[in-house]
Amino acid sequence: MRIYADSSLLVSRLYPGDTHHADALACFRKYASATWITSAWSELETVNSLRQLCLRQPGPAMQVPEALRRLFRHWHEHGPFERAAISLDEGLRECGQLSAAHATTLRMRSADVLHVALLEQINPDLFATRDREQYDLAVKRAFRSELVP
């Protein structure tokens, strides 16, 4: 099984201080034999979000996000993560189509829309997210999806 996880789920999985860490960990355990797919977009958003944690009060020391970034990279080199080849240009065109089709009925942040737009190229068996709006859009696009608490 190939699962594409958005950055909200990845951050929760990577950062033990996240309030949803246990739920994210349970999801990864549930699909322990799966190949977890990332994109250049999900990797950037995940690492950037990890760094943004330092701005919280109280937040982690600056070394924590860097250590988690290295762990994330290690997981790509030695499993269970695999990078999908994507075209951001194609993804942005798909974003425009999604916006035209759904923006008047669904709340759609641009960053969220891009995750769902990339599903067309990645074609995972499952899309896993903690973001209700991404989940709703993915379901409307007929992608098998799981909303992780």
- The predicted model gives 23-28 an average pLDDT of 97
Share of the chain above pLDDT 70, in %: 100
Q: Is the dihedral of CA 46, 48, 53, 56 positive or negative?
A: negative
pTM above 0.85, yes or no: yes
Share of the chain above pLDDT 90, in %: 77
CA distance linking residue 105 with residue 29, whole number of Å = 34
Confidence (pLDDT) at 56: 84
Confidence (pLDDT) at 107: 86
